[in-house]
């Protein structure tokens, strides 16, 4: 419970005024406004265990950021409930703020005109972190994120990668058990991205922090998360491990095999179909919904044929997620 997240039936509806065209329409909107409801999050339920990194995925406008804003206490849900480290975030905002760290990729919690180190000192005083603990954490973060090379620079003069690394450190200075990351590496170069990923892996595996991550970078998901929650149009589409999701939506593998000797006709094992053949070079794929996994197919092919060369083409995670989005559309329309 110390670092867990529990979400049950969470919903958030926004009401906006419909603006009618023209001067007369503007007057009618002022005198007799028409209100329209937008359901940003609809009956979403999931949980994150202590010491787990969960990727919350979905297309733009799916409701990811709205969900995080409710879990951080910025927004109050229209319906449902949530608990973060045992606290209802929108009812006990100050207590919740001491339990969480947040990084929003397009915003900073640092003071724009101050050097990074002075921002860290202000946050130390806000969260009442003892000076010895503060110094020890800064030293640890410096080793992992190389902060000291720029922490005497004003925040406005930092590069994007330097600013996000500073924001990560600032979010963890008070040692929170739960961390929310909303697109933390957007726009970064590959070197800094990997440095941030290593830092996050360390925080989860060594420090036992609970991390909820939103991102459009599927490489980031593959390297950091074991479990994914996918939402689309504000509704939960799926919740499972990457392996489960691949098995369900990513069965479009192909195996390229070169056989020893010439084979006039290749008869593949059950569940595998012959896609192409050019003499001893053949391409095989899954045959129907009950097809074996690519690793099972490799084993069956090696047992049946004498193979001199073999290669695998699997659908990458981006293709898998695209298939999951497409699969979710009929469910959404019929909901």
Q: What backbone torsions phi and psi does residue 115 show, to the nearest 5 degrees?
A: -60, 150
Residue 49 has pLDDT above 70, yes or no: yes
Do both 38 and 182 map to the same domain?
A: yes
pTM for the full predicted model: 0.77
pLDDT, one tens digit per residue, over 179-201 is 999 888 877 788 888 888 999 99
**Residue reference for tokens 């929650």:** 229
Residue 217 lies in a domain: yes
Q: Which helix (H) or strand (E) holds 140?
A: helix 131-145
Q: What is the pLDDT of residues 218-249, one digit of tens each?
A: 888 888 998 999 998 899 988 988 878 877 77
- pLDDT recorded at residue 334: 41
Beta strands in the chain (DSSP E): 5-18, 34-48, 53-57, 79-84, 100-104, 178-182, 210-214, 227-232, 235-241, 254-259, 272-278, 281-286, 307-313
CATH number at residue 107: 3.40.50.300
For residues 263-268, average pLDDT: 77
Dist. CA 173–CA 147, nearest whole Å: 13
With beta carbons less than 8 A apart as the criterion, state whether 25 and 8 touch.
no
Strand order in the sheet with 254-259: 272-278, 281-286, 254-259, 307-313
Sort 262 into a burial class: Cβ within 10 Å, 0-12 / 13-18 / 19+.
exposed
Regarding whether 177 and 153 lie in a shared domain, the answer is yes
Confidence of residue 43 (pLDDT cuts 50, 70, 90): very high
Find the Cα–Cα–Cα–Cα dihedral 67, 72, 75, 77, rounded to 10°: 60
Position 128 pLDDT exceeds 70: yes
Give residue 273's pLDDT.
85
- Regarding whether 243 and 256 lie in a shared domain, the answer is no
pLDDT above 90 covers a percentage of the chain that reads 48
**Same domain (yes/no): 150, 132:** yes
The average pLDDT across 163-189 equals 90
Instruction: Give residue for tokens 């979710």.
Output: 328
Q: Residue 333 pLDDT > 50, yes or no?
A: no
Can you tell me the mean pLDDT for 169-181? 94
Asked which of 198, 229, 247 is the last residue of a domain, the reply is 247
- 241 with 273, same domain: the answer is no
304 plus 242 within the same structural domain:
no
Whether 239 and 298 map to the same domain: the answer is: no
The percent of residues in the chain predicted with pLDDT above 70, rounded, is: 93
Tally Cβ neighbours within 10 Å of residue 260. 11
At a CB cut-off of 8 Å and minimum separation 6, what does 80 contact?
Answer: 7, 8, 9, 10, 11, 43, 44, 45
- Reading the block at residue 131, the tokens are 């000076």
Q: How confident is the model at residue 329 (pLDDT cuts 50, 70, 90)?
A: low
Q: What is the mean pLDDT of residues 44-71?
A: 92
| Mean local confidence (pLDDT), 146-169 | 92
pLDDT interval class at 335 (50, 70, 90):
very low
Q: Are 162 and 84 in contact (CB under 8 A)?
A: no
The answer to whether residue 334 is domain-embedded is: no
Residue 110 and residue 170: Cα distance in Å, rounded?
Answer: 8
Instruction: Among 192, 219, 247, give the residue marking a domain's end.
Output: 247
Residues 151 and 287 in one domain: no
Mean pLDDT, the chain, integer:
86
Is 186 a domain residue? yes
Number of domains in the chain: 2
Q: Which domain holds residue 280?
A: 251-314
């Amino acid at each position: 419970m110390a670092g867990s997240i529990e979400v049950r039936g969470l919903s958030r509806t926004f009401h906006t005024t419909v603006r009618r065209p023209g001067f007369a329409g503007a007057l009618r909107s002022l005198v007799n406004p028409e209100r329209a409801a937008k359901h940003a999050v609809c009956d979403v339920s999931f949980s994150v265990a202590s010491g787990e990194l969960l990727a919350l995925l979905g297309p733009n406008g799916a409701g990811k950021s709205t969900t995080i804003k409710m879990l951080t206490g910025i927004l109050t849900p229209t319906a449902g409930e949530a608990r973060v480290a045992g606290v209802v975030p929108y009812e006990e905002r100050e207590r919740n703020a001491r339990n969480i760290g947040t990084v929003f990729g397009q915003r900073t919690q640092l003071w724009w005109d101050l050097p990074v180190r002075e921002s860290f000192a202000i946050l130390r005083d806000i969260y009442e972190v003892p000076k010895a603990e503060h110094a020890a954490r800064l030293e640890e973060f410096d080793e992992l994120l190389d902060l000291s090379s720029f922490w005497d620079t004003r925040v406005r003069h930092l590069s994007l990668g330097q600013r996000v690394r500073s924001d990560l450190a600032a979010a963890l200075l008070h040692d929170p058990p739960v961390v929310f990351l909303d697109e933390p590496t957007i726009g970064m170069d590959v070197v800094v991205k990997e440095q941030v990923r290593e830092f996050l892996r360390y925080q989860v595996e060594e420090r036992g922090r609970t991390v909820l991550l939103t991102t459009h970078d599927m490489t980031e998901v593959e390297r950091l998360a074991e479990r994914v929650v996918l939402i689309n149009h504000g509704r939960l589409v799926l919740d499972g491990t990457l392996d489960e999701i691949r098995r369900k939506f990513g069965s479009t593998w192909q195996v390229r095999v070169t056989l020893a000797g010439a084979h006039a006709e290749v008869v593949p094992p059950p569940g595998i179909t012959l896609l192409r053949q050019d003499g001893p070079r053949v391409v095989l794929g899954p045959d129907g919904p009950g097809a074996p996994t690519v690793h099972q197919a490799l084993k069956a092919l090696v047992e049946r044929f004498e193979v001199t060369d073999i290669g695998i083409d699997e659908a990458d995670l981006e293709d898998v997620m695209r298939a999951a989005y497409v699969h979710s559309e009929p469910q959404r329309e019929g909901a």
